[in-house]
């Protein structure tokens, strides 16, 4: 079920004064997670499309763009133009989710929908067959460094069941509060893309933190759900 596990450091937690160096230090990861916050959908502002262009020019890794914005319909194309390899928008923010997913696919990128902690997985039932990935927020979005909400584990298992019922196998990404001590549990519950902000960028040795997350995640993959 869990083919490979992808580690996606979130550069929200990086030192912005030396971003190129930070990107070089995470080159053993699988994806770069790029958090866009608009100060409206979430109570914080991060960075936008110009920085995405700079990041794309500074890394060989695919960039996984997470749009925490209201009206993603008016934002998505700019991020695709800037080279987003996968694009995640929030279910709670989108008015026409199917249309957005088709647009992302037409542009050759991977399409994902994110769910806030209080949004149930059953809402994805009509669209799950079309998604490359589902992002289960394991904290309320807006800030790095929060604690994982424990009920997320049950939600991950429910999402796995929904996917099994539909005979589909989208990537399942977790984002928020993932640390060395809980990564095995989220993987055992069904996640296979691990976003990590503070647990990578607050470590003195980023490469080692990535390696340790990967090792612990693999342990979770060998445990039953
Ligand atoms: C939270 C963001 C996350 C954040 C994760 O709103 O979507 O990607 O950077 O940071 P940590 O791993 O520190 O919780
Ligand atoms: Zn994120």
Taking the CA of 144 as reference, the closest ligand is 1
Q: Mean pLDDT of all residues in the chain?
A: 97
- pLDDT more than 90, % of the chain: 97
For the CA of 200, the closest atom of ligand 1 is 12
In three-state form (DSSP H/G/I as H, E/B as E, the rest C), the secondary structure along 36-88 is EEECCCCCCECCCHHHHHHHHHHCCCCEEEEEECCCHHHCHHHHHHCCCCEEE
Contact by Cβ (8 Å): 59, 85: no
Residues contacting ligand 1 via CB (< 6 Å)? 10, 12-13, 33, 35, 66, 139, 141-146, 175-178, 195-199
User: 80-101, pLDDT tens digit by residue?
Assistant: 999 999 999 999 999 999 999 9
Compute, in angstroms, the gap from residue 211 CA to the centroid of ligand 2: 20
* For residue 225, pLDDT beyond 90: no
Phi, psi of 223, deg, nearest 5? -90, 145
Phi, psi of 219, deg, nearest 5? -60, -40
User: 192-202, pLDDT tens digit by residue?
Assistant: 999 999 999 99
| Cβ-Cβ contacts under 8 Å for 128 (sequence gap 6 or more) | 134, 162, 163, 166, 168, 170
Contact by Cβ (8 Å): 185, 222: no
Q: Which of 16, 176, 210 to mutate to test the pocket of ligand 1 (most atoms within 8 A of CB)?
A: 176
Closest CA to ligand 1's atom 12: 197
CA distances from 145 to 69, 95, 113, 154, 202 (A): 20, 30, 22, 22, 10
User: 31-70, pLDDT tens digit by residue?
Assistant: 999 999 999 999 999 999 999 999 999 999 999 999 999 9
* pTM, rounded to two decimals: 0.97
Give yes or no: 175 in active site. yes
Q: Which of 175, 178, 210 to mutate to test the pocket of ligand 1 (most atoms within 8 A of CB)?
A: 175
User: Band of the pLDDT at 223, cuts 50, 70, 90?
Assistant: confident
């Amino acid at each position: 079920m869990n083919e490979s596990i992808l580690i996606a450091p979130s550069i929200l937690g990086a030192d912005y004064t030396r971003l190129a160096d930070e990107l070089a230090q995470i080159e053993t990861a699988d994806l770069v997670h790029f958090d866009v916050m608009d100060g409206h959908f979430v109570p914080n502002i991060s960075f936008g499309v110009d920085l995405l262009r700079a990041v794309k020019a500074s890394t060989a890794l695919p960039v996984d763009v997470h749009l925490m914005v209201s009206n993603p319909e008016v934002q998505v194309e700019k991020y695709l133009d800037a080279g987003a390899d996968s694009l995640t928008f929030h279910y709670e923010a989108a008015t026409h989710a199917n249309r957005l997913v088709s647009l992302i696919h037409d542009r050759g990128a991977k399409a994902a929908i994110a769910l806030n902690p209080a949004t149930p997985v059953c809402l994805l039932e009509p669209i799950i067959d079309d998604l490359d990935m589902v992002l289960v927020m394991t904290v309320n979005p807006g800030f790095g460094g929060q604690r994982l909400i424990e009920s997320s584990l049950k939600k991950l298992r429910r999402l796995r069941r929904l996917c099994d019922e539909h005979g589909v196998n989208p990537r399942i990404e977790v984002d928020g509060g993932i640390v060395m001590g809980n990564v095995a549990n989220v993987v055992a519950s069904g996640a296979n893309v691990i976003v990590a902000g503070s647990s990578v960028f607050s470590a003195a040795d980023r490469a080692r933190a990535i390696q340790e997350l990967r090792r612990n995640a693999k342990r979770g993959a060998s445990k039953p759900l």
